[in-house]
Amino acid sequence: MSPNFILGYTDTETVKLDFDDVTFKTVLYWARRAMSWFSLGGFLILKSSDRCYHVVFNHEVDWTHNMKIVAWVALLSKNEGLRRYLLMQCIKESSTLRLSPKGEKPFPRIVYHEGEEDDQIMAFLRFQRQIKNIVRKLDHMDATSILSVYLERSST
Q: What is the pLDDT of residue 109?
A: 95
Kindly state whether residue 1 falls inside one of the protein's structural domains. no
Would the pLDDT of 112 be above 50?
yes
| pLDDT tens per residue across span 115-142 | 999 999 999 999 999 888 887 777 777 6
Kindly state whether residue 3 falls inside one of the protein's structural domains. no
Burial of 99 (0-12, 13-18, 19+ CB in 10 A): buried
The larger pLDDT score, comparing residue 51 to residue 152, is at 51
Kindly state whether residue 92 falls inside one of the protein's structural domains. yes
Kindly state whether residue 68 falls inside one of the protein's structural domains. yes
Kindly state whether residue 30 falls inside one of the protein's structural domains. yes
| CATH number for 31 | 3.90.920
Domain membership of residue 115 as a residue range: 8-154
Would the pLDDT of 2 be above 60?
no
Would the pLDDT of 1 be above 50?
no
d(CA 119, CA 25): 25
Among candidate residues 56, 27, 30, the one with its CA nearest the CA of residue 116: 56
Kindly state whether residue 45 falls inside one of the protein's structural domains. yes
| pLDDT tens per residue across span 51-76 | 999 999 999 999 999 999 999 999 99
Kindly state whether residue 132 falls inside one of the protein's structural domains. yes
Kindly state whether residue 128 falls inside one of the protein's structural domains. yes
Report CA dihedral (38, 44, 49, 52) to the nearest 10 degrees: 20
Number of domains in the chain: 1
Burial of 13 (0-12, 13-18, 19+ CB in 10 A): middle
Residue 69 burial (CB count, 10 A): 20
pTM of the model: 0.85
First CA to last CA across the chain, in angstroms? Answer: 26
Report CA dihedral (126, 129, 133, 139) to the nearest 10 degrees: 140
DSSP for 87-148? Answer: HHHHHHTSEEEE-S-BTTB---EEEEEEE--SSHHHHHHHHHHHHHHHHHHHHT--HHHHHH
Q: What is the pLDDT of residue 104?
A: 86
Would the pLDDT of 103 be above 60?
yes
